[in-house]
Structures are given as structure tokens and as C-alpha cells.
């Protein structure tokens, strides 16, 4: 689950599902419980109309989309295949055209603990870890500069985000800290291998450490501890996209526009390893992963209608036998 952060920073309790006007507030409300219920509501809507899909529909709700992608991968390994997949992530009624890969890594620094009174004779692991961050920023800069080599990210000002997401170290205020671990996240464009980013990060850490008074003799360790995923571009014009696009148009009155995601989405599993087109299309969410995450309720209704029409057209429908 995506953590809430300090609960007092929320206007309403993060798990109260408070509704104000057209919006429901809560952690996971938009990213992505709303998508899951849109899928369920779509099947419900068909049943209410006395219809059922004339082909098999697998409904998957998986874990780990926020950390590895292994949940979706497990369904593929289990053998679940389809002519097309649809993930109802909160695209805000847009058609997701490109998705980035994400990598997680930890930088582990060991210090030399001494009494603070003799701090000069020790080495502060927290301070040394901080000294490595500018080198990681340079990798981020390098990859942002490469955005013009991609099909869809050239117009985006800063598609690659290196995030120091968590930092832990030391034991108490009166020893020079002996250890520090930084949890980081970076992303990579479609068509590039995570191993290329891995090499850049490891080289940057090695180089920065080699010029550092303490780290040169106490090299930090880089551990790849979660996401290690590729991105992809969705080839336009697949049969599934044509159908979903038409269904969206019936609800919204116009064709869906493209959404270029700077995050990871599980769709890469189906596209890259399952050989099936995967559409990412769903309700409208704001402040995902932030305070006061919210989902637009009318957008859930619209997504439900489009998904129900998509299932009906893609699978065909038949009357439910009494």
C-alpha cells in the first residue's frame, strides 16, 4: 500500500472515504480502487442489462504494482492470457500511449563511529551519503537530456525523476553515525534496458566515492531492491484500441487524447512479456501518493460505461440464461 504520510496533514482521515461534491477522498481512492470498481461495475452493468460476455473475461486484482510489478507478472507466469488486456489505472479518460520503467535502489554507506567529542577522527555515514546525492542528480540530468531521443517524452520538461524517498541512519545523537541507507527511485524510457541505468548509477556512486576522503577507502554499496522494470510505447491502432477509443467517444463525445506516463504501470508485463496489447484507461485521480488523494466520481461512472461497452463489443454479448 502507498503510505499515507503524516495523517494530520490530510484534511480528512485517509481511510474515511469522505465525499465532497464530485470527489471522494482517501489513500488509494483514485490509485487505484476506483479503477477496480469500474471493472466490477462494468460487469455488473452488463448483468443488469441481462447480458454476459460471450467470451472469457479474466478479472485480475494484483499486489505489488507500486513496488515491483511482480503481482501482474505472476498472473502471466500462471498462464492467464487474453487477446487484449485493459488496466483501469486513473488515466483521466486518456489513452495511455507510453509508460516508463522504474528502478529502485538503496545506497548503503558505512561510517566509522566514534564519540562526538572526537568527531574529527571518525566518519559520519549520514553526511557521506548526502555527499553522494549530487552524483545521482547528474545521472538524472543526463537521462533527462536524452528525452529528445524518445518517441513521446521530448515535449516533457523533466520526465526522469530521481527521488531520494527514504533515508535512515545512525543510532543516537551522541555517536558519529556508523551507517546510513538511502532508498532511491529513478526511471528509464521505453526501449532502454534497466541494466543501462543500473550501470550509470553504480558508476556515478563509484566515481563520487573515489574522490571522497572517507568513502574512497570504505566504498558504499548499491543494492537493487525492488522495481527493475522496462517501459514501453503502445503501438497505435491495435484492434483493441480502436474499439476502446470508439466506446470512449460514445461516452465523452470525442476521441481520447494520449497520456504519456512518467511512472510505471503494470501494462508493460502484458505488452512486453505477454505479447498482448494492453490498454490503460480509467477514472480521473488527483494527488495520487500525496495528501488528500481524490477521485472524481462522475469519471468513475464514465469509465464504467466505456469499459462495459468495450467488453460488450470486444467479447460480444449473449443473454444470461434464466
**Residues binding Zn ion: what is the number (CB under 5 A)?**
1
- Quote the CA–CA distance of 70 and 113 in Å, as a whole number: 39
Work out how close the CB of 315 gets to Zn ion at its nearest, in angstroms, rounded to a whole number: 28
SS3 278: strand
Min dist CB 249 to Zn ion, Å, is 27
Considering only residues 6-45, where is the footprint of Zn ion by CB under 5 A?
31
Q: Between residues 31 and 140, which has the closer beta carbon with respect to Zn ion?
A: 31
SS3 state of residue 53: strand
Cβ at position 214, least distance to Zn ion in Å: 37
Q: Which region holds residue 179: left if phi is over 0, alpha if psi is between -120 and 50, else beta?
A: beta
Q: Which residue number, 52 or 68, has a Cβ lying nearer to Zn ion? A: 68
Q: How far apart are CA 261 and CA 247, in angstroms?
A: 22
Comparison of 66 and 302: residue with beta carbon closer to Zn ion: 66
Residue 89 makes contact with Zn ion by CB under 5 A: no
- CA dist 279 and 267 (Å) reads 7
135/278 with CB nearer Zn ion: 278
Q: What is the closest distance, in whole angstroms, from the C-beta atom of residue 69 to Zn ion in the complex? A: 12
Tell me how far, at minimum, the Cβ of 93 lies from Zn ion, in Å.
Answer: 18
Between the alpha carbon of residue 97 and those of residues 33, 91, 225, 242, 271, the distances in Å are 22, 10, 28, 13, 12
Minimum gap (Å) between residue 227 Cβ and Zn ion: 12
The position carrying cell 490503460 is 280
Residue of minimal Cβ distance to Zn ion: 31
Answer whether 147's CB lies under 8 Å from 189's CB.
yes
Between 67 and 127, CB nearer to Zn ion:
67
* CA 157 to the chain's CA centroid: 19
Q: Over the range 132-144, which residues count as b (16 or more CB within 10 Å of their CB) and which as e?
A: bbebbeebbeebb
Cβ 44 to Zn ion shortest distance, Å: 25
Within positions 280 to 299, which residues make up the interface with Zn ion, using CB under 5 A?
Answer: none
The helix, strand and coil proportions of the chain, stated in percent and rounded to the nearest 5, come to 35, 20, 40
- Contact map string, positions 221 to 260, toward Zn ion, x by CB under 5 A: ----------------------------------------
Q: Distance between CA 250 and CA 307 in Å, rounded?
A: 11
Cα–Cα distance for residue pair 270/87, rounded to 1 Å: 10
Shortest separation between residue 285's beta carbon and Zn ion, angstroms:
9
Closer to Zn ion by Cβ: residue 31 or 200: 31
Nearer to Zn ion, 27 or 212 (CB): 27
Q: In what order do the strands lie in the sheet with 163-169?
A: 163-169, 179-188, 101-110, 221-223
Nearer to Zn ion, 162 or 288 (CB): 288
Residues that bind Zn ion (CB under 5 A): 31
Amino acid at each position: 500500500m502507498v503510505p499515507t504520510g503524516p495523517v494530520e496533514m490530510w484534511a480528512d482521515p485517509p481511510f474515511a472515504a469522505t465525499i465532497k461534491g464530485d470527489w471522494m477522498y482517501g489513500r488509494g481512492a483514485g490509485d487505484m480502487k476506483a479503477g477496480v470498481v469500474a471493472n466490477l461495475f462494468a460487469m455488473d452493468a452488463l448483468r443488469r442489462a441481462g447480458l454476459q460476455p460471450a467470451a472469457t473475461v479474466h478479472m485480475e486484482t494484483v499486489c505489488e504494482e507500486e513496488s515491483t510489478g511482480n503481482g501482474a507478472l505472476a498472473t502471466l507466469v500462471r498462464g492467464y492470457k487474453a487477446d487484449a488486456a485493459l488496466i483501469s489505472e486513473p488515466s483521466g479518460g486518456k489513452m495511455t500511449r507510453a509508460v516508463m520503467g522504474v528502478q529502485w535502489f538503496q545506497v548503503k554507506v558505512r561510517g566509522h563511529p566514534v564519540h562526538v567529542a572526537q568527531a574529527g577522527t571518525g566518519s559520519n555515514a549520514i553526511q557521506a551519503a548526502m555527499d553522494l546525492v549530487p552524483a545521482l542528480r547528474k545521472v538524472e540530468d543526463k537521462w533527462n537530456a536524452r528525452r529528445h531521443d524518445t518517441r513521446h517524452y521530448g515535449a516533457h520538461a523533466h520526465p526522469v525523476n530521481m527521488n531520494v524517498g527514504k533515508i535512515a541512519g545512525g543510532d543516537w545523537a551522541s555517536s558519529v553515525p556508523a551507517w546510513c541507507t538511502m532508498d532511491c527511485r529513478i526511471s528509464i524510457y521505453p526501449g532502454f534496458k534497466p541494466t543501462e541505468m543500473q550501470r550509470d548509477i553504480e558508476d556515478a556512486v563509484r566515481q563520487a566515492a573515489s574522490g571522497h576522503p572517507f568513502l574512497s577507502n570504505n566504498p558504499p554499496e548499491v543494492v537493487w531492491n525492488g522495481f527493475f522494470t522496462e517501459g514501453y510505447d503502445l503501438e497505435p491502432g491495435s484492434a483493441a484500441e480502436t474499439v476502446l477509443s470508439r466506446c470512449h467517444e460514445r461516452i465523452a463525445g470525442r476521441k481520447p487524447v494520449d497520456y504519456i506516463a512518467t511512472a510505471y504501470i503494470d501494462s508493460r508485463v502484458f505488452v512486453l512479456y505477454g505479447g498482448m496489447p494492453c490498454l490503460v484507461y480509467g477514472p480521473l485521480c488527483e494527488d495520487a501518493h500525496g495528501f488528500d488523494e481524490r477521485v472524481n466520481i462522475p469519471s468513475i461512472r464514465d469509465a464504467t460505461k466505456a469499459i462495459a461497452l468495450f467488453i460488450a463489443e470486444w467479447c460480444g454479448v449473449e443473454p444470461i440464461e434464466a
